[in-house]
Structure 1
């Protein structure tokens, strides 16, 4: 490995903490938006969303931040981190395919609201990068539950996901 490559890995590695903070930032924004909408629904306030908070934009940023974190870890470790590494993380396939639909097709996938919660109303259908039709079943859970379960499992399983690179805490 050249000195320049080592330096690049060090630079990227120095930003991993920032990527984790960015991930947390967007997760907190999702929590805040979902709690606001749910609280307004329960209080009978209409409209429940002030339109200053767009759940789709925030969710899109959240999903793409995870991909960015994954890519940064690949650079730092010189190891391919396949999505299959996340098979133990609830909703990992959903997040992978959502990210593809959002990034490659420009989709806004959160398209339903009921009883104070945001949902995906219908399956996500797209043509993948190999030209094949792909349909992702719409999850039954609301967006907040999906994000929290994915994030919880991700943090619980981080030592199994990146065993050589996780801290011992």
Structure 2
């Protein structure tokens, strides 16, 4: 398997918690749209096209963050997270395949609606990059259930993978080296000359402060994954 440099791994580790927040953000939009649809249906109203779009588009974004996090955990831990493990999760195989359908084909995936609930109405047929025909069976659960079940299981898997990794301890510390900060100041078009001069004047103090930073990106990621799990429990009753 490809080995990643510590610098590369630290870069990706620093972004990990933010991508987990993005997963929750998109998931929450899907859930809110599904809840609004059901509420409107029960009230005898008509579900808006805007609500349909919020569910459709956020579901697509949600599936793409799944791929990002899968790739990121490989970089951070230097260990492959195989799709075979993800496929064992609730709706894992479905989420893998519809991510490909949504990203590579532009398939909307969600095109069924009944009694206030959004569904994948029938199997999806796509052709992969090798010309092979792939059939994706339609789940019987509605989109809200699919996303929440999968997100909870996926975040458990990611958290367990990060906690079990042996090679993440040395990723702690400042998010940036003094050289990276210096380069940003020197090449940024929005930092005024007086600020650049102040940085040059205080460079040694800034470098010392950076060395004292106790930032732990893995702990941050583990915490955010726990937040997603708690969110899933809160909207499903645990």
TM-score, scaled relative to structure 1:
0.88
Matches of 1:157 and 1:68 in 2, distance apart? Answer: 15
- Higher CA-based Rg: 2
Q: Following TM superposition, by how much is the alpha carbon of 1:87 offset from its aligned partner in structure 2, in angstroms?
A: 3.4
CA distance in 1, matches of 2:163, 2:133: 35
Q: Give the match's secondary structure for 2:113.
A: strand
Equivalent residues in 2 for 1:123-162 (5 A)?
A: 123-162=123-162
Partner of 1:36: 36
The structure showing larger relative contact order (alpha-carbon pairs under 8 Å, at least 6 residues apart) is 2
- Number of residue pairs the alignment of both structures matches: 165
* Preserved contact between residue 73 and residue 158 of structure 2 (Cα < 8 Å): no
Spell out the pairing of 1:28-107 with structure 2 (5 A cutoff): 28-46=28-46, 48-51=47-50, 54=53, 55-107=55-107
How far is the alpha carbon of 1:49 from its aligned partner?
Answer: 2.4
Give the aligned CA root-mean-square deviation in angstroms: 2.1
Gaps of 5+ in 2: 166-217, 224-238
CA distance in 1, matches of 2:62, 2:39: 22
Gaps of 5+ in 1: none
Distance in structure 2 (CA, Å) of the matches to 1:40 and 1:159:
36
TM-score (norm: length of structure 2): 0.64
